[in-house]
Amino acid sequence: MTAQLMPVPIRMAASLLDPKLAGPEDLRAWNGSDIERRLAVHRNNVLSSLIDALGDTFPVVQELVGEAFFRALCASFVRAKPPQTPVLAQYGAEFPDFVTGFPPAASVPYLADVARLEWMRVLAYHAADAAPVGPEVLEGLFACDGALGDLRITLHPSVCAFRSTFAAVAIWSAHQGIGELAGIDIHAGDCALVLRQGLEVLVLPTTAEAICFVDSLRRGERLDTAIAAATAHAANFDLVALLAALLRRGAVAALGPSGPNNSWSHA
Amino acid sequence: MAPANYGNCPVLASKLPPRAGIGLKPQHFRDVLETRPDVGFFEVHAENYMVSGGPFHHFLGRIRELYPLSLHGVGLNIGGAEPLDEAHLARLAQLIERYEPASFSEHLAWSSHGGVFYNDLLPIAYDQSALERVCRHVDVVQERLGRTMLLENPSTYVEFSSSSMSEAAFLTEVVRRTGCGLLLDINNAHVSCVNHGRDAVSYISSLPLEAVGELHLAGFTRDTDASGAPLLIDSHDAPVDAVVWELFGGVVTKLGPLPTLLERDNNIPVLPFLLAEARRAESLMAVGGDCRGESVRGLEQVP
């Protein structure tokens, strides 16, 4: 009987992402043909399937740089940051930062932010479900205005706040057929709320103060703290308009007095 | 876990109906709910549904109310060198509790090592230590999930000179020791046999066929190895090949109708095309595997 070697994964794993490394020493083909060609099937499966997965997550990034550049970028990413879980919906969180540090992409300075926006869309798509609170709750809210500061708003789990120093939202939108790429000043900063309403992920352009407000709520802070964060950014922050918009988009999962087990309006 | 006595009675690892089913793809979610096609079951990759909420669970929940479900894992790493990932097992147990699938299956392959997931079904050497490791992993899965699983024969492109037994002998022993069932992927059998210069009919007949709980049918891509010999790639991106249909006919003639999945993961056609392949599989099962039947030829005209 052949002497037992270490299990195959220990001897084979490294060679999958690094073609310079040889595969296991006991690899063989029935007809004695060069084993590298056969090992290449696995190397190709690994790399191309992961690049395809990134292509599904970052379609606008791919459109912006073209397929050949995108696949080269992704190949570098896959080799540097291969997935750590079989749940590929989680693969790509580190991609935007990788794009930032990828020198060949330096001529497209907004690319990483577009990647960030696309990653947020994936997060929103798969985020936990929660029944939204309807807009009618706003009436009741302002009937007891003295207590606003004690309110706590729980956002829908899909809500993400996006901001860019580039026109990343306008560029992304133009790739959805909304607006023209030609007229965009790439250095005009952009903000958007990304959230899932029903089964659809929305990208809603918004103001920087709305982002401050939403970020504060996402940190679990009280409503008065969130208002203070927004007004510090813009004195004319319109709370009612923003709350109404959030409620209309199903972005609020619960709303009630702060303190545990005290919610008076819960879906 | 006690070994199963599959020699006396069939392993009931699958409660799927003995009909054809198709892989459920997100692009077909709405079509399925609107047209409610007459298929025996749907199969999904478990890992795609390991997300918190959103459309995937929305649609799977509704479709599960109408059809039996087969849960097919691609990331459990049964052939891995390391202990199974407890977090992954927990996610799997949660999915099984939520959707109560009629069957759970995984592969005789590895896909992760050293904290990296390779997203491929990678080969193992068929030796004594691998046999013990695979059996231990199958035992852990079956104990953790509280159910019997099906183990799928792989598509392979390379072999290992350190292997001390055939793939069929290895699978037979895993089935005997763990009581798991066999998911016989007929396309994998064909692909592997062509890739290693073997005869698929004798390979299939040397498997523990009494333990088969499900069949898989799929398409492959043709390539060549460095010496010009055919090298088939299990690409799941093409219709089922004539040779695979013929092997399928032989298997169902011998074993009778079995839950049979039409697997398509890439280059996905419109739903009616997959349904036509499913009907063809059912016709073959109905006529006892005779590929020459009129009813089968008529079904080849697909949109």
pLDDT > 90 in chain B, percent: 90
Per the DSSP assignment, residues forming a β-bridge with A200 are A197
A113 Cα to chain B: minimum distance (Å): 24
Instruction: Specify the number of domains making up chain B.
Output: 1
How big is the A-B interface in CB pairs under 8 Å? Answer: 173
Q: Please give the pLDDT value at position A181.
A: 87
Q: Assess: ipTM above 0.85.
A: yes
Q: Is residue B149 part of a domain?
A: yes
Backbone conformation region of residue B114, classed left if phi is above 0, alpha if psi is from -120 to 50, else beta: left
User: Residue B298 — very low, low, confident or very high, per pLDDT cuts 50/70/90?
Assistant: very low
A1-5, A210-214, A237-241, range with the lowest pLDDT: A1-5
Q: Is residue B3 part of a domain?
A: no
Subunit contact B119:A34, Cβ cutoff 8 A: no
Q: Is the pLDDT of residue B120 over 70?
A: yes
E strands along chain B, which residues? Answer: 20-23, 41-45, 69-72, 103-107, 110-113, 116-122, 150-152, 159-160, 181-185, 212-217, 221-224, 230-233, 260-262
Q: Is the pLDDT of residue B294 over 60?
A: no
Residue of B114, B196, B225 lying closest to A37 (CB–CB): B225
More confident of the two residues A258 and A42: A42
**Structure-token pair, residue B124:** 């193992």
**Residue pLDDT, tens place only, A165-183:** 999 999 999 999 998 888 8
Q: Please give the pLDDT value at position B238.
A: 95
Q: Is residue B7 part of a domain?
A: no
Q: Please give the pLDDT value at position B1.
A: 40
Q: Is residue B180 part of a domain?
A: yes
Q: Please give the pLDDT value at position B297.
A: 38
The answer to whether B98 faces chain A, any CB pair under 8 Å, is no
How far apart are the C-alpha atoms of A117 and A175, rounded to whole Å?
13
A84 Cα to chain B: minimum distance (Å): 5
Q: Please give the pLDDT value at position A151.
A: 81
Q: What is the mean pLDDT of chain B?
A: 92
CATH number at residue B162: 3.20.20.150
Subunit contact B158:A89, Cβ cutoff 8 A: no
Q: Please give the pLDDT value at position A150.
A: 74
Q: What is the mean pLDDT of residues B53-63?
A: 98
Q: What is the mean pLDDT of residues A121-128?
A: 98
How far apart are the C-alpha atoms of A102 and A69, rounded to whole Å?
12
Interface residue of A8, A11, A28, A126 to substitute, partner B, most B CBs within 10 Å: A8
Q: Do residues A120 and A162 lie in contact, with contact meaning Cβ atoms separated by under 8 Å?
A: yes
Subunit contact A8:B122, Cβ cutoff 8 A: yes
Smallest CA-to-CA distance from B52 within A184, A79, A17, A124 is with: A124
Distances, alpha carbon A17 to alpha carbons A251, B130, B225, B231, in Å: 42, 23, 20, 22
Per the DSSP assignment, residues forming a β-bridge with B221 are B233
Q: Is the pLDDT of residue B296 over 80?
A: no
Q: Is the pLDDT of residue B256 over 80?
A: yes
A142-146, A207-211, B64-68, range with the lowest pLDDT: A142-146
**Structure-token pair, residue A251:** 């972005």
* Domain assignment of residue B260, given as a range: 20-298
Q: What is the mean pLDDT of residues A210-228?
A: 94
Q: Please give the pLDDT value at position A143.
A: 66
How far apart are the C-alpha atoms of A157 and A160, rounded to whole Å?
8
Phi, psi of B295 (to 5 degrees): -60, -30
E strands along chain A, which residues? Answer: 27-28, 151-155, 160-164, 190-197, 200-205, 252-257, 265-266
Per the document, the length of chain B is 303
User: Residue A136 — very low, low, confident or very high, per pLDDT cuts 50/70/90?
Assistant: confident
How far apart are the C-alpha atoms of A52 and B120, rounded to whole Å?
13
Distances, alpha carbon A237 to alpha carbons A135, A145, A267, in Å: 20, 17, 27
Q: Please give the pLDDT value at position A257.
A: 74
Q: Is residue B15 part of a domain?
A: no
Q: Is the pLDDT of residue A12 over 50?
A: yes
Interface residue of A4, A41, A77, A88 to substitute, partner B, most B CBs within 10 Å: A41
Q: What is the mean pLDDT of residues B185-195?
A: 98
**Residue pLDDT, tens place only, A77-115:** 999 999 999 999 999 999 999 999 999 999 999 999 999
Distances, alpha carbon A96 to alpha carbons A92, A109, A206, in Å: 8, 12, 22
- pTM here is 0.92
A135 Cα to chain B: minimum distance (Å): 22
Subunit contact B53:A10, Cβ cutoff 8 A: no
Q: Is the pLDDT of residue B99 over 90?
A: yes
Show residues of chain A in contact with B47, CB under 8 Å: 86-88
How far apart are the C-alpha atoms of A162 and A142, rounded to whole Å?
28
Smallest CA-to-CA distance from B93 within B53, B143, B131, B129 is with: B143
Q: Please give the pLDDT value at position A142.
A: 67
User: Residue A255 — very low, low, confident or very high, per pLDDT cuts 50/70/90?
Assistant: confident
**Structure-token pair, residue A22:** 């040889």
The answer to whether B25 faces chain A, any CB pair under 8 Å, is no
Residue of B58, B79, B159 lying closest to A28 (CB–CB): B159
Please tell me whether residue B223 adopts helix, strand or coil conformation: strand
Show residues of chain A in contact with B229, CB under 8 Å: 31, 33
Q: Is residue B10 part of a domain?
A: no
How far apart are the C-alpha atoms of A157 and A101, rounded to whole Å?
30
pLDDT > 90 in chain A, percent: 82
Closest-CA residue of B relative to A1 is B164
DSSP-assigned letter for residue A134: P
Q: What is the mean pLDDT of residues B277-289?
A: 92
| Strands, sheet with A160-164, edge to edge from the N-terminal-most edge strand | A160-164, A190-197, A200-205
Q: Is the pLDDT of residue B12 over 90?
A: no
**Residue pLDDT, tens place only, A145-157:** 556 667 889 999 9
| Residue type for position B9 | C
Q: Is residue B5 part of a domain?
A: no
Q: Is residue B213 part of a domain?
A: yes
Q: What is the 3-state secondary structure (H, E, C) of A29-71?
A: CCCCCCHHHHHHHHHHHHHHHHHHHHHHHCHHHHHHHCHHHHH
Subunit contact A26:B128, Cβ cutoff 8 A: no
